[in-house]
């Protein structure tokens, strides 16, 4: 019975996931390289998870997010975070109208389907938390009234590496609300030459609107149907528990290096991202490779390191690699 259900689902996914290739091709018309970043943005879109992108300036983080929003017929807002930004500049405020002699609500830029929170770690904690509350609750309170945010609602935030001047690091509890954290690296030499040519010859392209919001909603419903076996569920919980209690998984050496392990959100997001990854790969069921493919992006911002780890130059990436190598694969 299960096999026939999965083969039906596989056929359905083969039909419905064709738009993923269209969307990827459309993005690659504008962005050179960065294949993994584009795939992860689509995973976030399919599993309704917010994404944090980290990288030095000039690596097409902003361009990627704008291109994704442009290729789907949805509203898009860009908020440039600065040290003097106020929460009201993000969510909106009450303005007194002399004509009607009463306060009127002026909605802020957060009322859009795609929010690009640019350089989120350049502004103080009160502004960050205003946006992160909107992300969590999918609603905003202005004055005495609460307003629902549009659906789909997706926040894609960019941040510069913490070592840079003039940054306010995001608190751990707030970073945890992002489903994925992507670390963007420099392009390859060939890609850089292509970028150089395009810009010198003024061949700046933009994406065309190729999808409707209903396409995304339908795909999200199918992603939820992707089959997750109990063995895979055990694999997910083992990976997450290994980050909390490393000694139980033959990782005693990490006991004094991990300050806190991944939260239950990590388990939920690992399962959701793995389902979306299986959908992109045209499969109706999740396999361990899906988990391994998304594990770094889901876990890298959820493992807190002690000062000893920093002193020994051990990163959360190293710990995730060790966990994936030591946890038994079903």
User: By three-state DSSP, how is residue 258 classified?
Assistant: strand
Residue 293 confidence (pLDDT): 92
Residue 234 lies inside a defined structural domain of this protein: yes
Tell me how far apart the alpha carbons of residues 274 and 140 are, in angstroms, rounded to a whole number: 30
Domain at 196, CATH number = 3.40.50.300
Which residues are 227's β-sheet partners? 285
Residue 209 lies inside a defined structural domain of this protein: no
* DSSP 8-state class, residue 55: -
Which residues are 155's β-sheet partners? 115
Residue 39 lies inside a defined structural domain of this protein: yes
Backbone angles phi, psi at 25, to 5 degrees: -60, -40
User: By three-state DSSP, how is residue 118 classified?
Assistant: strand
Residues 227, 96: one domain? no
Residues 295, 176: one domain? no
Backbone angles phi, psi at 78, to 5 degrees: -115, 125
Residues 180, 103: one domain? yes
Residue 123 confidence (pLDDT): 86
Residue 101 confidence (pLDDT): 80
Residue 268 confidence (pLDDT): 94
Residues 190, 220: one domain? no
Residue 207 lies inside a defined structural domain of this protein: no
Question: Which of 145, 172, 201 finishes a domain?
Answer: 201
Domain at 241, CATH number = 1.10.8.80
Residue 290 lies inside a defined structural domain of this protein: yes
Residues 178, 57: one domain? yes
Residue with tokens 């999200």: 220
Q: Exposure string (b/e) for 20-40, b if CB count within 10 Å is 16 or more? A: beebeebbeebbbbbeebbbb
Cβ atoms of 277 and 293 within 8 Å: the answer is yes
Low-confidence ranges of the chain (pLDDT < 50): none
Instruction: Provide long-range contacts, Cβ within 8 A and 24+ apart, for 165-168.
Output: 166/83, 166/122, 167/121, 167/122, 168/121, 168/122, 168/123, 168/124, 168/125, 168/128
Residues 46, 116: one domain? yes
Tell me how far apart the alpha carbons of residues 220 and 47 are, in angstroms, rounded to a whole number: 6
Residues 35, 170: one domain? yes
Q: What is the pTM of this model?
A: 0.87
- The length of the chain is 330
Strand 258-260 versus strand 304-305 pairing type: antiparallel
Residues 300, 241: one domain? yes
Residues 221, 321: one domain? yes
Tell me how far apart the alpha carbons of residues 94 and 107 are, in angstroms, rounded to a whole number: 9
Give the up-direction half-sphere exposure of residue 19: CA atoms within 13 A in the CB hemisphere: 21
3-state helix, strand, coil in the chain (%, to 5): 50, 15, 35
Range of the domain at 71: 31-201
Residues 223, 197: one domain? no
Residue 242 lies inside a defined structural domain of this protein: yes
Residues 179, 272: one domain? no
Domains in the chain, number: 2
Residue 253 lies inside a defined structural domain of this protein: yes
Q: Exposure string (b/e) for 308-319, b if CB count within 10 Å is 16 or more? A: ebeeeebebeeb
Residue 273 lies inside a defined structural domain of this protein: yes
Task: Tell which residue, 194, 123, 189, 191, has the closest CA to residue 157.
Answer: 123
Residues 102, 194: one domain? yes
Tell me how far apart the alpha carbons of residues 85 and 297 are, in angstroms, rounded to a whole number: 29
Contacts of 294 (CB under 8 A, 6+ apart): 43, 180, 270, 273, 274, 277
């Amino acid at each position: 019975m299960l096999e026939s259900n999965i083969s039906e689902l596989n056929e359905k996914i083969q039909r419905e996931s064709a738009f993923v290739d269209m969307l990827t091709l459309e993005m690659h018309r504008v962005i050179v390289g960065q294949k993994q970043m584009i795939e992860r943005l689509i995973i976030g879109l399919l599993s309704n998870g917010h994404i944090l992108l980290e990288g030095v300036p000039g690596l097409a983080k902003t361009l990627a997010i704008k291109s994704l929003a442009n290729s789907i017929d949805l509203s898009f807002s860009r908020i440039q975070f600065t040290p003097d930004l106020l929460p009201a500049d993000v969510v909106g405020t009450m303005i007194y109208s002399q004509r009607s002699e009463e306060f009127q609500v002026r909605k802020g830029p957060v009322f859009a389907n795609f929010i690009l929170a640019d350089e989120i770690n350049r502004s103080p904690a009160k502004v960050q938390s205003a946006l992160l509350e909107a992300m969590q609750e999918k609603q905003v309170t202005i004055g005495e009234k609460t307003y629902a945010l549009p659906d789909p609602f997706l926040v894609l935030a960019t941040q510069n590496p913490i070592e840079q001047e003039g940054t306010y690091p995001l608190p751990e509890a707030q970073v945890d609300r992002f489903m994925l954290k992507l670390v963007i690296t420099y392009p390859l030499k060939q890609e850089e030459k292509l970028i150089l040519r395009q810009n010198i010859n003024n061949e700046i392209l933009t994406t065309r609107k190729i999808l409707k919001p209903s396409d995304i909603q339908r795909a999200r419903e199918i992603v939820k149907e992707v089959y997750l076996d109990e063995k895979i569920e055990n694999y997910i919980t083992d990976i997450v528990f290994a980050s909390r209690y490393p000694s139980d998984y033959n990782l005693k050496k990490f006991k004094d290096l991990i300050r806190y392990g991944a939260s239950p959100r990590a388990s939920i997001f690992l399962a959701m991202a793995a389902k979306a990854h299986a959908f992109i790969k045209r499969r109706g069921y999740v396999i361990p490779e899906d988990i391994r493919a998304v594990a770094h992006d889901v876990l890298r911002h959820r493992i807190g390191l002690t000062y000893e780890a920093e002193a020994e130059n051990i990163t959360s990436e190293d710990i995730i690699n060790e966990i994936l190598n030591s946890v038994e694969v079903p």
